Amino acid sequence: MASQTPKAPEKTESKKQPKGANNPFIKVGGIVVLVIVVIAFIFVPMGGGSSAAISGNGRTLDFGKYAGKPIQYAQGSYMYTQVRSLNEQLQQKGLNEQNYQLYTYQVYRGAFERSAIRLAALDAVKKAGASVTEPWLDKKVAESATFQENGKFSAQKYHDATLSEKLAIRDQIRDDTLYQAYFSDLLGVGPSSKEIAFVKDMAKDTRTVQYAAFPLSKFPDSEVEAWGKAHADLFRSLSLSRVTIQSSEADAKKLLKNIQDKKTSFEDVAKASSKDSYAAKGGVSGPKYFYEISSELANKADADKLAALKAGELSDVLKTANGSWAFFRADSGVAAVDFAQGVVVAAARDYINGRERGVIEDWAIAQAKTLAAAGAGFEAAAKKAGLAIKSAGPFPLNYGDLTVSLYGQTAPMLKAVSSESEPELAGASTSEKFLTQAFSLAPGAVSEPFVLGDNVIVLKVKEASSAKDDETSSLGFYYPYFIQSGASAEIRDLVMKSKLLSDDFSKVFFKYFQTSTASAAKKG
């Protein structure tokens, strides 16, 4: 390869332009499917939301490396240009630092990931031995806007530019070309016409269903109480005080010994040394259910030791679930459960909802089996049970509600199972049970009950039909972009999980934005 020192370029034609350099898909907005990653942090921009958060105030920040090359935010760096680009894109969508807390994080994280992907692509190109010719580079440098005047190459402007500026422009053109060629090669081969036709045929098979929903929220108090009585030990009440020590077990034992030897009081130790929310109250945690106390301990059997304490007795030092050490004082003996109290029934319901959801699901499925066995009398059985019969469809087999991102817009690939007019079917598109039942049963057949979200569903296939050609015609346009989206997502995942990537983004970002983060926390 010729010397990298720029000379006054001549306007000669390239012998062979790198593959993909004129690919319009790549030139329109870059790789369409490289999207900003939204991380759900509660955050406001640096400087109280001023534009300084995006300008960077001339600061140079090293966010990581890829294959030993820095991913750096500095004046003129690739990440710098991407920060500006993403900032403009978000502002065009109506987002800004004042009305969107994630704004600054989105911009910088998106720019970081784009920079990492670019370095990964260039590293792969280099390893493959790809290059561009020096005469072709001469031509492109001459066409650079930096050296143009009245639409023509200006030898004077080129002469006036410094050597570092010329080299930077030359390197930028080379890297841009190879980067675009890399993605053109990876993403330029789309699905064949036969594959598209096959997908269209798949999309033509549709179903219309009727269904009835048994809400899990209808689980009656009588069932809650019956289950609670069968597991009454969980709802025994213990009134305890505690001292929590984070330093070591030995320190906790020493403090416990001082109390036992009456060198100090339990309350004084709690106020002076305990590291939990009860310290200021002398360690008093108040009455708790047995299952709550059990969940706070590393060894669940230790909860039985606490339940055996008599009023005023002290426990041994016990390890907690979060790795600290604690000892307890019984402020009263254990109290048996009384389900005549509504509050205990409510506690039992919360426990079942959070930890024994299968109990509710089994109950609802048992209720729904009568409807599932009704067959042709499906509608009448539902009416007798006081359930509404609803319809959905026609819809194709569309697992995941497939969509495609194209030029900043998201479009559905296929018709989705509506969950707006049929909220009970929220999640149906990712439910293998729902889709299997809908597409495996013959028209008129009724499914077995199955759980879908917060309901148990019984459905009847009302109709199996075929979508019209005009309803699937958009697939011919969208499907190639869908394939490219998947490929781009895989490339992104490979880069971001690569051992060659040193990702210091969060550490660096929050180091320099910590003032605003703290302010946001205080306001929250």
Confidence (pLDDT) at 8: 40
Q: What per-residue confidence (pLDDT) applies to 408?
A: 67
Measured in residues, the chain has a length of 524
Give the span between the Cα atoms of 484 and 478, in whole angstroms.
10
In 3D, which of 236, 188, 480, 199 has the Cα closest to residue 347?
236
The pLDDT confidence band at residue 98, using thresholds 50, 70 and 90, is low
Interval 228-255: pLDDT, tens: 999 999 999 999 999 999 999 999 999 9
Q: Which residue has the higher pLDDT, 40 or 491?
A: 491
Task: Give me the pLDDT at residue 30, please.
Answer: 31
pLDDT in tens, 381-426: 888 888 899 999 899 998 888 888 776 677 788 888 877 778 899 9
Q: 503 with 495: CB under 8 angstroms?
A: no
Q: Which pLDDT belongs to residue 469?
A: 78
Q: How far apart are CA 183 and CA 67, in angstroms?
A: 19
**pLDDT of 2 above 50:** no
pLDDT in tens, 136-192: 999 999 999 989 998 899 999 989 999 988 898 999 899 999 988 888 888 777 888
Average pLDDT over residues 110-124: 94
Residues 467-494: tens digit of each pLDDT:
887 778 888 888 888 888 888 888 999 9
State the pLDDT at residue 254. Answer: 96
**Each residue's pLDDT tens digit, 67-91:** 999 999 998 889 999 999 888 887 7
Beta strands in 331-467 (DSSP E): 390-396, 403-406, 409-412, 450-452, 455-466
The answer to which of 1-10, 348-357, 426-435, 484-493 has the lowest mean pLDDT is 1-10
pLDDT tens-digit map of 199-230: 888 888 999 999 999 999 999 999 999 999 99
Report the mean per-residue pLDDT for the chain: 83
DSSP string spanning 85-118? HHHHHHHHTT--TTT-TTHHHHHHHHHHHHHHHH
Q: Which of 176, 296, 188, 291 is nearest to 242 (CA)?
A: 296
pLDDT band at 331 (very low <50, low <70, confident <90, very high): very high
Domain boundaries, the chain: 24-191+501-523, 203-216+368-472, 237-330
**pLDDT band, very low/low/confident/very high, at 514 (cuts 50, 70, 90):** low
CATH architecture for the domain at 237-330: Roll (3.10)
Please determine, for residue 518, whether its predicted confidence score (pLDDT) is greater than 60: no
**pLDDT score recorded for residue 38:** 28
Q: Is 501 helix (H, G, I), strand (E, B) or coil?
A: strand
pLDDT at 21: 36
What's the average model confidence in pLDDT over 364-378? 89
Q: Is the pLDDT of residue 4 over 80?
A: no
